[in-house]
Amino acid sequence: MSQTGTIAHGAQVSFEYTLTDEAGEVIDSNVGGEPLQYTHGAREIVIGLERELTDLQVGDRKKVTVEPEEGYGVVDEERCVEIPRAQVPEEALHVGAQLQAVTEDGVPLPATVKELHTEHVVLDMNHPLAGKRLFFDVHITNIEQASA
């Protein structure tokens, strides 16, 4: 595996990033920790960020704005569901509470309490970053080209 060249399809890429929202508040960062690793072209990171990293080299820094459609998607109101209030733990009975729902197939899904009513609770099953414009500040730390 070569550690030279530019980011291209199949390359194993490592990078540091800071993710902020439109107000400049930090949502997530791995700076000072382990770099994030992904395979370029395998859709392991949001597509809008992946596309903007193409052709960068080790040491490159780039600021990338990702629109919701190329990030975690737009908010889909059909992903908001009502469940009986009794099924929600007491400590999560407030708007904004984060829960872990489980599908009928046993797949975990993050959920956010959107509304509280007397008999039911509305859960938002959209990704917490759905509908948000994302601002990444990226530093490429390593590239290993795919074997030919």
Number of compact structural domains in the chain = 2
Domain membership flag for residue 2: no
Neighbour count for residue 116 (Cβ, 10 Å):
14
Whether residue 38 is found in the same domain as residue 107? no
Residue 129 sits at the vertex; the CA angle it makes with 70 and 127, to the nearest 5 degrees, is 95
Tokens of 80: 């908001």
Domain membership flag for residue 4: no
Containing domain of residue 96, as a range?
77-124
pLDDT of residue 115: 95
From the list 64, 108, 28, 78, the residue with the least C-alpha distance to 98 is 108
Whether residue 90 is found in the same domain as residue 17? no
* CATH number of the domain residue 89 falls in: 2.40.10.330
What is the chain's pLDDT, residue by residue, as a tens digit (148 residues)?
Answer: 445 689 999 999 999 999 999 999 999 999 999 999 999 999 999 999 999 999 999 999 999 999 999 999 999 999 999 999 999 999 999 999 999 877 788 888 889 999 999 999 999 999 889 999 999 999 999 999 877 5
Tokens of 117: 């009513």
